[in-house]
Structure 1
Amino acid sequence: MIKIYAPASIGNLGVGFDLLGAAISPIDHNFLGDCITVCSSKIFNIINTGEFSTQLPNNMHKNIVYQTWKIFCKIIQKKIPVKIILEKNMPIGSGLGSSASSIVASTVALNIFFKTNLKKQKLLKIMGKLEGLVSGSIHYDNVAPSFLGGTQLIIQEKNIISQKIPMFENWFWVIAWPGSQLSTVISRDILPKKYTRKTCVQQNKNIATFMHAIYTNQKELALQVMNDLIAEPYRIPLLKNFDVTKKNLLKLGARTCHISGSGPTIFSICDDYEVAKTSETWLKKNFLQNKKGFVHICKIDNYGSKQVR
């Protein structure tokens, strides 16, 4: 029996649309991610458990975990039946890499179970392909950090998919999921097909300056240029009261606030724990739409996917 945990992740990080992603873990050590258990079985079966398992499709063949198993059967050129238990701790359509978490955990677990010994870059390519089945396009800013941990820069050139980059250790990442769903496909389709040269130049300047700032340990400069011009301005109308929420968090002392991935989850960066706690309290009272929603104070998860008991 093999059991793998893959953490939640924040895509884009405000400044790096489709280029940056970070794995996160709550500081209270609660799991914020999915678990996959693979066991020997005479017949193939998927068992869905966890708080958000009711959001999964009833048809087993439409489960992304089933698609992962099919890929590995093709690799080993044999259909070996297994029992897969998917512990769905992540809400679907949350903007926290929910599909990526299931994809990473199942890919890693099946690679170990079938002893295929695929290298990391090969595994990443499989994860990207599976992510494309869910969101409509291949992208790695959730699967790479969830798999490899830390903050990942998506390179996607030849045999290099991503590389780990440094991040400011004293930052607290306050994430808030309001309790509603937002399709990644819808969030991507709403984006313009073309951008002005001015917008592209400014976006490139922001990401280049951000990368320079984190490598030279200039926190204030990094915060100053965390401004996305490609996706966030067009996705803000899809989120309820985002502008008001951001304004209030900044008043409380948060350093910035952005949409996590495609939304509707938002994240706020605080460099003081007390400010993070105050922000957490405010978000619980004013941002959550129902009892399903949650708020967590997180740090960057530098480990990524891991085997658990």
Structure 2
Amino acid sequence: MNKEVRVFAPATVANVAVGFDILGFAIDGPGDEVVARLAEGSGVRITSISGDGGKLPLKAEKNTAGFAAIRLLEQLGKSGLGVELEIHKKMPFGSGLGSSAASAAAGVMAINALLDMPVPKMESLHCAVLGEQIADGAYHADNVAPSLLGGIIFIRANEGLDVHSLPIPDELHAAVVYPHVSILTKDARDVLSPTTTLPQCIQQTGNLGGLVVGLYESDYELIGRSLQDVIIEPQRAQLIPGFSTVKSAALEAGALGCSISGAGPSVFALCKGREVAQTAGAAMQQAFLTQDIPCDLFVSPINKEGAKILA
């Protein structure tokens, strides 16, 4: 058993255009860090939180990382263990990059690492999802699973956590731009129609299947043809200033496809090769800057490791 560990859990892109609530992938950064150490007494205590501007609760039972840690200790029969957590938020809130999911993933990873990894990551996923549920009220794994497990994750069903890793073509990279505008997840949900047309369903299902086949076959052209969201993106695009211009800039720069990350406002592009990703990312960034919207650019291969112990 370790006396102290520091872990990192990465940001994620959920939905991946055609997989609303059922697809997500991890990127190398940004992300959250959690330090866990053995302490006297029993139970989980959060001693400090940095980078949150005082927004997050110190009470472990009401904090995503803290609650996830508590639930994993319960699962392992170690509820009587005394653990102190430090949480270091190193990614923006409300960015569409899975901030609360990263904290929850880091929370379970920290406990698992502190106890010398008694369970595989997959066996701690349920606790991490419960942790994120504290923040948004929903039990879903499209951000938490890739943040914890890494890679591109397909969620066949959240109930029972029927999740599966998809293959990652060697040259697949992501460019993600976070514009400094605010979109509440509730507002992003409220704009969605509860119904879709049969033609929309057929086209979206075809695109989802095409993306999965493209990943298995490393067929970049098929991946590009498939990254077309005909249901969610057209409804949410109105919430992101100049989204169509940003998307056009990415595609003109050579991106395979471009869409909204999670509930937004971040926008992602999948690309073949790092050079194209950097070019597409810079083009998206410039499209926001021409509207006087400051933004941050992250270029990364698909993160295959997910949450990890830091040296």
TM-score of the superposed pair, with normalisation by structure 2 = 0.87
- Counterpart CA distance in 2 for 1:285 and 1:55 is 32
- Counterpart CA distance in 2 for 1:179 and 1:66 is 28
Q: What is the number of equivalent residue pairs in this alignment?
A: 301
Q: 1:18 aligns with which of 21, 27, 37?
A: 21
What stretches of structure 2 of length at least 5 have no aligned partner? none
The structural deviation recorded for 1:271 is: 2.3
Closer, same or farther: CA 169–137 of 1 in aligned 2, 3 Å: same
Alignment match, 1:306: 308
Alignment match, 1:71: 71
Closer, same or farther: CA 72–255 of 1 in aligned 2, 3 Å: closer
- Is the Cα–Cα contact under 8 Å of residues 280 and 297 in structure 1 kept in the other structure? yes
The structural deviation recorded for 1:186 is: 2.7
Moved more, 123-132 or 143-152: 123-132
Cα offsets for 1:158-201 (capped at 9, x unmatched):
75531111122223311100123323233223222222222222
Quote the RMSD (CA, aligned, Å).
2.4
Code of the aligned partner of 1:70: I
- Is the Cα–Cα contact under 8 Å of residues 237 and 243 in structure 2 kept in the other structure? yes
The structural deviation recorded for 1:130 is: 2.2
What stretches of structure 1 of length at least 5 have no aligned partner? 26-30
Alignment match, 2:53: 54
Cα offsets for 1:236-256 (capped at 9, x unmatched):
111111001112222233332
- Counterpart CA distance in 2 for 1:79 and 1:235 is 46
Code of the aligned partner of 1:37: V
Cα offsets for 1:225-273 (capped at 9, x unmatched):
2112332111111111100111222223333211111111001223254
Q: Tell me, what secondary structure is at the counterpart of 1:89?
A: coil
Moved more, 195-204 or 282-291: 282-291
- Counterpart CA distance in 1 for 2:58 and 2:298 is 32
- Counterpart CA distance in 2 for 1:202 and 1:285 is 31
Closer, same or farther: CA 210–280 of 1 in aligned 2, 3 Å: closer
- Is the Cα–Cα contact under 8 Å of residues 246 and 283 in structure 2 kept in the other structure? no
The structural deviation recorded for 1:102 is: 0.6
- Is the Cα–Cα contact under 8 Å of residues 175 and 266 in structure 1 kept in the other structure? yes
Code of the aligned partner of 1:278: T
Give aligned-pair identity as a percent.
30
Alignment match, 1:263: 264
- Counterpart CA distance in 1 for 2:278 and 2:116 is 44
- Is the Cα–Cα contact under 8 Å of residues 17 and 230 in structure 1 kept in the other structure? no
TM-score of the superposed pair, with normalisation by structure 1 = 0.87
- Counterpart CA distance in 2 for 1:177 and 1:245 is 12
The structural deviation recorded for 1:115 is: 6.4
The structural deviation recorded for 1:58 is: 5.1
Q: Tell me, what secondary structure is at the counterpart of 2:175?
A: strand
Cα offsets for 1:21-41 (capped at 9, x unmatched):
11111xxxxx42111110123
Alignment match, 1:252: 253
Q: Map residues 124-273 of structure 1 onto 2, 5 A cutoff.
A: 124-156=125-157, 161-273=162-274
- Is the Cα–Cα contact under 8 Å of residues 55 and 92 in structure 1 kept in the other structure? no
- Is the Cα–Cα contact under 8 Å of residues 8 and 33 in structure 1 kept in the other structure? yes
Hey, which bits of structure 1, 4+ residues long, moved more than 4 A? 157-160, 288-291
